Amino acid sequence: MANDPIVQVRDLRKVFRQGDLDVIALNGVSVDIAPCEFVALMGPSGSGKSTLLHLIAGIDRPTSGTVLVQGINVAELNESQLADWRNQNVGFVFQTFNLIPVLTGFENVELPLLLTQLKRSERRRQVETALELVGLSDRMHHRPDQLSGGQQQRVAIARALVTDPALIVADEPTGNLDAKSAADVMLILQALARSSGKTVIMVTHDPKAAAYGTRSLHLEKGEIAA
Amino acid sequence: MNVLSFIAKNALRNGRRVTLTVSSVAVSCALLVTLQTLQRELTIPPESEGASLRVIVRNKVSLMQPLPARQLSVIERIPGVVAVSPFTFFGGTYAGETVTSFAQFAIDPERFRGLLVEGRIASGDYDDFVRDRTSCLVGADTMTRYKLKVGDRMKFTGTFYPIDPDLRIAAVFAGTVDDRGVFFNHKLLDDVTGGGSTVGTWYLRVASAKVAPDVITAINAAFANSSAEVRAETERAFQMSFMAMLGDVKSLTLSISAVVVFTLMLVSVSTMSMSIRERFRELAVLKALGFRRREIFSFILAESFGLAFVGAVFGIGGTWLFWSHINLQKLSNGFLIYFEVTPRIMAMGGTVAAVLGILSAIAPAIAVARMSVADGLRTLD
């Protein structure tokens, strides 16, 4: 069953209440994503791409429809189960890096592992491996404000990888980076899908970034465009 | 890194705010502990065993009204009375001072011997005091304060009585709850008040605490409907009613303490709320990474509690150090003697700080718990 979709989205709707108005962010989206795919979600602002990403990653709940990730209906998990599920199955990369400023790169990457039963030495080994993978072994003890934007994003990718999740979700990961750093980050994400067996789902406005993916999905007005 | 170091790094991330918060808690705790210590000093009567055995008999009309000396023979025959002495407040000033900073009483030296239950003669000779009607018995604290020694003279200026006693120090007492008083022979007052026909109050010792209520009832009954009705009460009750003349000290200190605690709470809640508000995005990220509500609540609680704890340690510990190394008796002219910051008061201050630390964490923790991860992340991009 290796080729079964890792993500199955069916008839997904998400409606936000804004004052007296209902705003439809997603309107009956259905999509399958296979393991090791690197999918770029594209579309204009307000098209629902970030909402779709959030629902797949289990950080928001749909109004209706189902999101199955590795056969688990994410919407049916309670708050606590969802937190555990995210810790074990999803790695997050954000546009603004979102590293904890008082922690070093090493400590930021170690953060998700504090929720596991791993011993200190095992945590250290995993963190070092993740930082080595993104090419930041030499700057692991620097705080975020001592790192460039590209380096910070690589720390964020290491943090997303360190628990060895099947799914990496990235929300405009190159949005705050210069061209060179953006290319470096995209190559790392591409390598994760190609060589490390991760499924990467990325929201981006940038066609150059999307070109690193194996597939692009275009959303418009809450629906997948043909 | 472990969870504790993560919490510590978060708590200490803004040095200025940490310093100000800890200082606020410390100052508030210091104020609270000082107020409670003051209240204890002013309202707690002597708690010695002797205090429960001593009874003071005063005129029922007013403390200022004298009692007839003839009452002595009636009082000393009441069952349970072991010793009784006249006890008249002199209220003079010493060494040119404008206010009386320690009490002087006229007593019957021979009878008074039986009333010094927990006291002892530290130096000099009590028999010398009994023999010489112009001598006095002085508390050890007053001897130290005025650098006096046995044989020195103390000259008082009368304020209520037209007499300026010039007394030789015959003996020094110590070991009582208040080692400041000066006692001299009642005969000196008798000479100017009409040959010993009146006394200020009667001071007596009963055989046991158990019989004290019966003795009090018997004394009050003995002089009921007489020309000088009396009010007998234990030393503790007497002290309490005397302190009541200062006003409701307890309510006053309690009110100020409540204001201090309320202010402390506002400071803590405001600080924690600001601190968490600034970190909403980070907390949303923590949630995204898999931290549950209860774990994030624990982080906030530990941070708030930790800051309150450090503030309390500085505030309460500093207050204890300060008051235990300062000669408050000298500074207050003898008004405050012990001013002891007791373990109980320190524990109370620590508990207040701890409870406030916990309360301060609740509002921000609820806000974070209610925040959906998606909403938290949306605010940052």
For the segment A46-85, what is each residue's pLDDT rounded down to a tens digit?
899 999 999 999 999 999 999 999 999 998 999 899 999 9
Neighbouring residues of A29: CB distance < 8 A, sequence distance ≥ 6: A9, A11, A12, A13, A48, A52, A65, A219, A222, A223, A224
Task: Tell me which residue in A60, A86, A98 faces B374 most closely, judged by beta carbons.
Answer: A60
Structural domain boundaries, residue A199: 36-54+80-224
Q: What is the pLDDT of residues A176-218, one digit of tens each?
A: 888 888 998 899 999 989 988 899 999 998 999 999 999 999 9
A65: three-class secondary structure by DSSP: strand
In a domain, A132, yes or no: yes
Q: Tell me how far apart the alpha carbons of residues A123 and B5 are, in angstroms, rounded to a whole number.
A: 16
Contacting residues of A for B374, CB less than 8 Å apart: 51, 54, 59-60
Q: How close A176 gets to chain B, by Cα (Å)?
A: 11
CA-nearest of B104, B137, B121, B112 to B204 is: B112
> What's A103's DSSP letter?
S
Mean pLDDT of chain B: 86
Task: Tell me: pLDDT of B379 over 80.
Answer: no
Chain B contact present for A173, CB below 8 A = no
Task: Please tell me whether residue B137 adopts helix, strand or coil conformation.
Answer: strand
The pLDDT value given to residue B49:
63
Q: Which residue has the higher pLDDT, B250 or A62?
A: A62
The answer to whether A202 touches A38, Cβ cutoff 8 Å, is yes
Nearest CA in chain B to A124: B1
Assigned domain for A62 exists: no
What are the domain boundaries of chain B? 3-45+247-378, 61-228
Position A1 confidence tier, pLDDT thresholds 50, 70, 90: very low
* A209 is a domain residue: yes
- Selected residues 272-311 of chain B with any CB under 8 Å from a CB in chain A: 281-282, 285-293, 295
Res. B44 pLDDT band, cuts 50 70 90: low
Q: What is the mean pLDDT of residues B90-116?
A: 86
Sorting pLDDT into bands at 50, 70 and 90, what band is B331? confident
B47 has pLDDT over 70? no
pLDDT, tens digit, for every residue of B54-83? 899 999 998 888 999 999 999 999 999 999
- Among B377, B127, B4, smallest CA distance to A107 is for B4
Quick check: B268 and B357 in contact, CB under 8 A?
yes
- What proportion of chain B, given as a percentage, has pLDDT over 90? 37
Collect all residues of chain B within an 8 Å Cβ-Cβ radius of residue A80. Answer: 292-293
Query: What are the angstrom distances between the C-alpha of B276 and each of A48, B110, B223, B268, B284?
Result: 29, 73, 71, 12, 11
Mutation target to probe the A interface, by most A beta carbons within 10 A, among B285, B287, B379 is B285
Over residues A31-46, the pLDDT tens digits come to: 999 999 999 999 998 8
Domain of A124, CATH number, reads: 3.40.50.300
Instruction: Please say whether the beta carbons of B140 and B174 come within 8 A.
Output: yes
> Is residue B381's pLDDT more than 50?
no
Report pLDDT for A97.
Answer: 86
Assigned domain for A174 exists: yes
* Residues near A207 by beta carbon (within 8 Å), at least 6 away in sequence: A42
Render A122-189 in DSSP notation, one character per residue. Answer: HHHHHHHHHHHHTT-GGGTTS-GGGS-HHHHHHHHHHHHHTT--SEEEEESTTTTS-HHHHHHHHHHH
pLDDT (average), residues B291-313: 90
Judge whether A144 lies within some domain.
Answer: yes
User: Mean pLDDT over residues A11-35, rounded?
Assistant: 91
Sequence-distant (6+) residues with CB within 8 A of B108 are: B85, B86, B185, B186
For A82-122, the pLDDT digits (tens) are 999 999 999 999 888 889 999 999 999 999 999 998 999 99
- Rounded to whole angstroms, the Cα distance separating A153 from A182 reads 9
- Quote the pLDDT of residue B135: 95
Tokens representing A190 are 């591409």
> What does the pLDDT read at residue B247?
66
- Alpha carbon A15 to its chain centroid, in Å, reads 22
B-chain residues near A60 (CB < 8 A): 372-374
Q: Which of B3, B282, B287, B289 to mutate to test the interface with A (most CBs of A within 10 A)?
A: B289
Name every residue whose Cβ is closer than 8 Å to that of residue B99 and which is 6 or more positions away in sequence: B93, B333
Instruction: Answer whether residue B273 shows pLDDT above 90.
Output: no
- Chain B within 8 Å of A191 (Cβ-Cβ)? no
Asked if A169 and A92 count as a contact pair (C-beta separation under 8 A), the reply is yes
Mutate to test the interface with A, among B295, B303, B368, B377 (most CBs of A within 10 A): B377
* Domain assignment present for A13: no
Q: Is the pTM value of this prediction over 0.80? A: no
* Ordered strands of the A215-220 beta sheet: A90-93, A167-171, A199-203, A38-42, A215-220, A223-224
Is A63 within a domain? no
User: What's the total number of domains in chain A?
Assistant: 1
Q: Which residues of B touch A115 (CB under 8 A)?
A: 289-291, 295
**Of B317 and B49, more confident:** B317
